[in-house]
Amino acid sequence: MRLRVTPRYTLVACAVACVCLLAGAALAGAANNVSRVRTYSTRPTLPLRTGLLDPRTLSGPDMSVAFALARQTGATYVREPVSWQAIAPATQPTGFVPSDPTTPGYTWAALDATLEAAQAAGLTPILGIASPPTWGYTTQPAGVNGGTPDVTALRDFATALATHYDGLTPGVPAAHVFQVWNEPNNSMDLNPASPTVYRAMVNAVAEGVHGVDPANLVVAGGLDPFGHLQSKNQQWYSVAPLAFMRSVLCLSKGAHPHATCKDPAHFDVWSHHPYTFGGAFGKAKLPDDVELGDLPKMRAVLTAAVRLHHVVSANPVQFWVTEFGWDTNPPRPHAASLSLASRWTAESLHQMWLSGISLVTWFLLEDYPSPSPYQCGLYFYSSSIQSARAKPVLTAFRFPFVAYLGKKKTTISVWGRDATSDKETVGIQVRRGKSGPWRSVARISSNANGIFQATLKLNATKKDWLRASATGSGNSLAFSLKRSKDPHIGPWGN
């Protein structure tokens, strides 16, 4: 028996059919939109870990708050200057054993408290040895210039330092990374600024800390990026970093270096301070100076030294930046604007990573109070660190992202590191102009180090902006595909 459908039910059936058709069309459209959002994966790469150097803010009664804030920037390391003279006695008492951290005369309490706060915040310390006591020099400081430490005394102190922080003593924090001096090619830190003396210092520290634990890391270098001649008006000087480095590593100049001496350097990490004029692609005017754009030259010297067995290390030798930053305007007149400094920050991290850098230590967490020239903090200066206001540079440091238009304008190269530095799905969005809606165009799976990169097939113009988004990271800063000429501004606004 055939059912009869009344007009009333016919209308209902037609309505339901229409709804189903519309819903089907919507789902098909959504599926088409999803299909246009291509997914990319990132192969295993070098990591890009970050750290902070800020002796003023990361100390004192509020240091626990400051360290917690430092960890929130995505940093996992903190560089802590170690004043040898603040720990050692002014004069050696009877029975003083300089290699024994428990010998009467050593005072560890202040540094213990700082490292405990760093450890509680989840930060790995890099202990930078400097500033000997009077009896620890062979050449005493004079005027603005530093002196030369006694190598034997330095070895003994390094042994005591590594033993005290070996992680085996209850109630004492652990530390396993030790940097040998700050900018030893500058006479204000090491005078005379002798590569031969510095090599002996590095080997002395390595003997001490590796003797305590072979897994400890010794960081050498940390060089001033520029050479300066001494003059009547300038009593200090610095040796050009590449020239200094070649001498430390016993290498000749040239594309195919040969050995100039037979004394290998014992270290695990080489570091540099590539302060730069003119943005992330800036190169030094003089051939042996090293700004950001010259880091590949420094890496080539390091690679040659390792190949020729002029570097002794139990592990693959790493390349780090242990100090870097950009001043901002405000508050520093003539410095890069907040938006430009933010772009330069992301680009600088990318350029350092491309040059083989696996760790970058930023100077500073918070601006120094005026009239200090050091206004390169991730936060503006405040009378209380709890009320410090973040700069947009902080987002670029925490979640760096860059995007560059291809020559044919049908591809865009993107790179970044998610703020959690682990495997995530990162969404890439595009916007036409400085305002308006964002449109999803790609998904990229970051690798185990949080690095994500891809070449997107996308028709775009210089009017477009891109950004990245990820769980636990939020949104990166918007990055313009228009590349303007970078002004010749120095790191301190000069």
Q: What pLDDT sits at residue 80? A: 98
Could you count the other beta carbons within 10 Å of the beta carbon of residue 316? 7
**Among candidates 146, 149, 115, which has minimal Cα distance to 132?**
149
Dihedral, 178, 183, 185, 189 alpha carbons, nearest 10 = -100
The set of residues, in sequence order, having a beta carbon less than 8 Å from that of 346 and lying 6+ positions away, is 396, 400, 401, 402, 416, 476, 477, 479
Contact by Cβ (8 Å): 456, 406: no
Chain centroid offset of residue 95 CA: 42
423 token code pair: 């495997």
Total number of domains constituting the chain: 1
- Tell me how far apart the alpha carbons of residues 110 and 231 are, in angstroms, rounded to a whole number: 39
| Distances 282 to 48, 157, 434, 487 between C-alpha atoms, Å | 21, 39, 27, 10
The set of residues, in sequence order, having a beta carbon less than 8 Å from that of 428 and lying 6+ positions away, is 414, 440, 441, 442, 443, 444, 454, 456, 466, 467, 468, 469
Point out which residues pair with 315 in neighbouring strands.
none
- Tell me how far apart the alpha carbons of residues 244 and 184 are, in angstroms, rounded to a whole number: 9
239 by DSSP, 3-state: which?
A: coil
- Give domain status of residue 469, yes or no: no
- Give domain status of residue 267, yes or no: yes
Return phi, psi of residue 38, to 5°. Answer: -75, 145
Burial of 442-451, coded b for 16+ CB within 10 Å and e otherwise, reads bbbebbebbb
- Tell me how far apart the alpha carbons of residues 234 and 335 are, in angstroms, rounded to a whole number: 24
Point out which residues pair with 401 in neighbouring strands.
416
- Tell me how far apart the alpha carbons of residues 363 and 367 are, in angstroms, rounded to a whole number: 9
380 token code pair: 């503006």
- Give domain status of residue 312, yes or no: yes
- Give domain status of residue 176, yes or no: yes
Region class of 447: left (phi > 0), else alpha (psi between -120 and 50), else beta? beta
Q: What pLDDT sits at residue 407? A: 85
**Among candidates 205, 232, 237, 210, which has minimal Cα distance to 221?**
205
- Give domain status of residue 476, yes or no: no
Q: Token pair 């040059």 is at which residue?
A: 355
End-to-end CA distance of the chain, in Å? 95
- Give domain status of residue 393, yes or no: no
Q: What does the DSSP assignment read for 323-389?
A: EE---EETTSTTSEEHHHHHHHHHHHHHHHHHTT--EEEES-SBPPPTT-S----SB---SSGGGPP
Return the beta strands (E) in 181-264 as ranges: 217-223
Per-residue pLDDT of the chain in tens (494 residues, 90 and over written 9): 333 333 333 333 333 333 333 333 333 333 334 447 899 999 999 999 999 999 999 998 899 999 999 999 999 999 999 999 999 999 999 999 999 999 999 999 999 999 999 999 999 999 999 999 999 999 999 999 999 999 999 999 999 999 999 999 999 999 999 999 999 999 999 999 999 999 999 999 999 999 999 999 999 999 999 999 998 888 999 999 999 999 999 999 998 999 999 999 999 999 999 999 999 999 999 999 999 999 999 999 999 999 999 999 999 999 999 999 999 999 999 999 999 999 999 999 999 999 999 999 999 999 999 999 999 999 999 999 999 999 999 999 999 999 999 988 899 999 999 999 999 999 999 999 989 999 999 999 999 999 999 999 998 999 999 999 999 999 999 999 999 899 999 998 87
Q: What pLDDT sits at residue 2? A: 30
In eight-state DSSP terms, residue 151 is H
Residue-range definition of the domain harbouring residue 97: 76-324
In the chain, DSSP finds a helix count (H) and a strand count (E) of 10, 23
- Give domain status of residue 95, yes or no: yes
Q: What pLDDT sits at residue 29? A: 36
- Give domain status of residue 360, yes or no: no
Q: What pLDDT sits at residue 408? A: 81
**AA identity, residue 480:** S
246 by DSSP, 3-state: which?
A: helix
**Among candidates 232, 237, 81, 221, which has minimal Cα distance to 145?**
237
